Structure 1
Amino acid sequence: MKPRMIVSEMDSYVPGKSQDEIASEFNLNKEDIIKLGSNENPFGPSPKAIEAIEKECKNINRYPESVLNELQQELANYSGVKQSQVIVGGDGADEIIDVLAKTFIDEGDEFIVPLPSYMYYEYLLQQYGARPVYAKWNLDENKLDIDSIVDAINSKTKMIFLCTPNNPSGTLIDKEDIKRIASQNPDILIIVDEAYFEYAEITNKDLINEFNNIFIIRTMSKVMGLAGMRVGYGLACEEIIEYMHRIKPVFSLTRLSYVAALNTLRDEDYIKSSIKKGIESRQYLYNELSKIDSLNVFPSKSNFMLIGIKDTGFTASELALELMKHGVIVRDCTSFKGLDEFWIRISICTLEEDEKFINIMKEVLS
């Protein structure tokens, strides 16, 4: 049986390695492995979420909520928007991107992605017959090349993806640049990915009241500590949200993910603590790694940072392998289009794990 042509031509998406994989491959204890490869919240989930999940377990024989009014309202309160401007999805933000594609993409459409950036946009939209067109980030100046976006726009352009803070560079996009692109291209949907906005303490959510062609993607997998629950959400004008609700799967949120999300949002102390500890970890890692002369460490507004390693004598795959042997998982960024084989990405951990990682990095590089 042959698949659709686009499926036969696609490469599989390459996620970060798990602790179980590394423990098995290198005969290590899973509990001792330091995971810096997947941009997760290392401080654990909200205790209120855990309690809610335990109580809800007895109801998993029943279908989950199909009308998510209560969760939508909590997300609206958290985001400072109206409930009618919120859509919630399962599978993290990935389902939100998928529903966007199903709602607005026709075969033959084009979408713009500045490189390097999160590659899952391309992976999802190509399934619907859309073609990626690449703009670029200026890594020398660590900022988006706006002119490359403008130059890439043509009559087939349906969407532009702007990740801020950008993954993997950690760079913020200036709000005025987003407004410029949106105002000059009212028929193009501008997707602003704010998966990590809490760590930047900056948001563009007010733009959805100013522009009908801006859609903001968010997730509860980062600061909210729910990566294993797969909850994402989007913010946009009411018209876009209504169209997407026609397409979105009815039962995409499980009963457990629903109560976990609801109770995490109601745990304000947990959210504030997660942000504070995450920023502290990021700053510690940046300060310590910047002392190593052979590393080119990018300042970041997210919970991860991009590191150039060309002067270390290692390629990314070689360094990642050596670190895995020592029980440390980092992200080899060779699979990111727009980067060569001399970049890795690391994410925050507890300060204790950060210190261990720094010592291991120094040992490996020496």
Structure 2
Amino acid sequence: PDAADLESRLAADWGVSPDSVVVTAGADEALDRICRAYLDESRSIVLPRPTFVMLEKYVDLARGRRIAVDWRRGSFPARAFLEAMKPDTAVLGIVTPNNPTGMAATIEEIRILAEGAPDTLVLCDLAYAEYAGEDPTKELLTFPNVIVTRTVSKAWGLAGLRIGYAVGAPELIAPLRAYGGPYPVSSISLRVAQYVLETSAARKTASVARIRRERSELLRLFDRLGFETCASEANFLFVRFPDAGRVRESLLQLGVAVRAFPEDPALADSLRITLPGDAENFETLKSALRTLFEPEAILFDMDGVIADVSRSYRACIVKTASSFGADVTPADVERAKQAGGANCDWTLTERLIRECAGTSPGLDAVTVRFQEFYRGTGGEPGLGETESLIGSRESIVALRARFPLAIVTGRPRDEARSFLEKFGLDPFFDVVIAREDGPPKPDPAPLRLAMETLGVSRVWMIGDTVDDVRAARAAGALPLGVTSTAADATATEVNLRRAGATWVGSVWSEIEGVLS
């Protein structure tokens, strides 16, 4: 494969001679070559902190010494770069717009470096330059000590081709040819890249314009939400959160992947959020952020969340099974609930009888017996009378003052209403979705019906089983878990988190801290 035609094309674009350009396997390889050509154990490079992680790795591979200058906020610290130089400093490295913050250095700030250190190589990685307010490439190429690296991976959308290049004075570029393989890029990639550069400028311009609109809109959203953002000029935003890890996990459960930096204490409070450049995906991103930070309603499962049913429904399962000769224990019930697919207690009871006794009297007979134990017969009170409220009525009243509330339960409607009326909660739940309204969880239909009835699209769902969590995820709700009545709270929390719960507490009222 011969990159000469593409190098000539790129040289013409920037008004330089072809020997000023070397095509590489992505801009990453250009950075690697520069580090190997200009750094070794006796030379240092000044870099911003944070910066593109691969540039740091290439410096280390070349055995160069890194000198870091903080650039987490504000304008590019050009003067601090010059002050940080040592006698062995061979390179001043800049990524602009920077990765991961998106902040950009101005032409004048880079000029300070190029003119302030005329005998030192100034490396400018401009991988995201198309998204910035100004592209400094042509002006930077007037300096004899500057190498610019560019890529077709970002704005041109050709990341899979792995094509980048370095451009600078011929005497700076010449050594780079010796530090790479003879054929770093395939002939197919070269031809496709040249074709796209010649025919798709309008498409690239439209894509960049879309990204800039998304960036402006998302910056306004974060400003309204009160989160600090960097002044990004890239196709991503760098946002600081009080609990970045929880935000990342929550967004992931809502269908959005973002970049976190847990290994770096200086960046552990931040996330990098990529702008998709696509209307549908951008709506998904906005919806996920607003669901997380601006929920319109809170949905509750009932049993195990606001109703302690350890002595009612759970006991009915054990007692019903025993009446049919099956030795089912509370631990068996707990395991089945945590495994999922056990939202209907009647069906679960019949299944456990069949598994333990090897036979079954049938679902109808099990249901009748179960209800006799729950509701009582012959004047004897049923186990339903033992149910108690988890949390306080005052907490529910306070939460209802902030959000519409709904119950989404597998109980029959009359039993759900009876519990709410018993504890004076009926006025505070706007909607009750019960067994009669649709298939049981983990099917998301009951949650979607609750959202539709409330007239909302952004909700949090609080449940105590993996079925609740799975239903929430499928419905686009933020899944939260509680271990209020679990026999083994630790194991239950592990199961809920594995299923996708973004937060797990011991009682639902702890959600107040999450909402704050």
More displaced, 77-86 or 213-222?
77-86
TM-score between the two structures when normalised by the length of structure 1: 0.75
Is the 1:86–1:234 contact (alpha carbons within 8 Å) kept by the matching residues of 2?
yes
2: CA distance, partners of 1:327 / 1:218: 31
Q: How does 1:181-330 map to 2 (within 5 A)?
A: 181-267=113-199, 268-293=201-226, 295-310=227-242, 314=243, 316-330=244-258
1: CA distance, partners of 2:138 / 2:288: 43
Q: Is 2:275 the partner of 1:341?
A: no
RMSD value over aligned CA atoms?
Answer: 1.8
Per the alignment, residue 21 of structure 1 pairs with none
Q: Which has the higher contact order (CA 8 A, sep 6+)?
A: 1
Per the alignment, residue 353 of structure 1 pairs with 281
1:208, distance to aligned residue in structure 2 (A): 4.6
The alignment-based identity, stated in percent, is 25
Q: Is 2:90 the partner of 1:158?
A: yes
Per the alignment, residue 110 of structure 1 pairs with 44
Structure having the higher Rg: 2
| 1:120 partner letter | M
Is the 2:34–2:176 contact (alpha carbons within 8 Å) kept by the matching residues of 1?
yes
SS of 1:244's partner is: helix
SS of 1:113's partner is: strand
Q: Provide, for residues 196-245 of structure 1, a one-character-per-residue CA deviation record: whole Å limited to 9, x for no partner.
A: 11111422223454322111111111001011111111110011112211
Is the 1:223–1:271 contact (alpha carbons within 8 Å) kept by the matching residues of 2?
yes
Per the alignment, residue 127 of structure 1 pairs with 61
Q: Provide, for residues 256-277 of structure 1, a one-character-per-residue CA deviation record: whole Å limited to 9, x for no partner.
A: 3212211110122222222222
Q: Provide, for residues 279-336 of structure 1, a one-character-per-residue CA deviation record: whole Å limited to 9, x for no partner.
A: 222222222332212x2123321111111112xxx2x222212211221101113445
Q: Is 2:31 the partner of 1:97?
A: yes
SS of 2:66's partner is: strand
More displaced, 242-251 or 204-213?
204-213
Per the alignment, residue 87 of structure 1 pairs with 22
Is the 2:141–2:147 contact (alpha carbons within 8 Å) kept by the matching residues of 1?
no
Per the alignment, residue 13 of structure 2 pairs with 78
What runs of 5+ residues in structure 1 fail to find an aligned partner? 1-64
Change (3 A) 1:123 1:164: same
Is the 1:86–1:233 contact (alpha carbons within 8 Å) kept by the matching residues of 2?
yes
Is the 1:303–1:348 contact (alpha carbons within 8 Å) kept by the matching residues of 2?
yes
Equivalent residue pairs, number: 292
Change (3 A) 1:285 1:77: farther
Is the 1:196–1:222 contact (alpha carbons within 8 Å) kept by the matching residues of 2?
yes
| 2:185 partner letter | L
SS of 1:228's partner is: helix
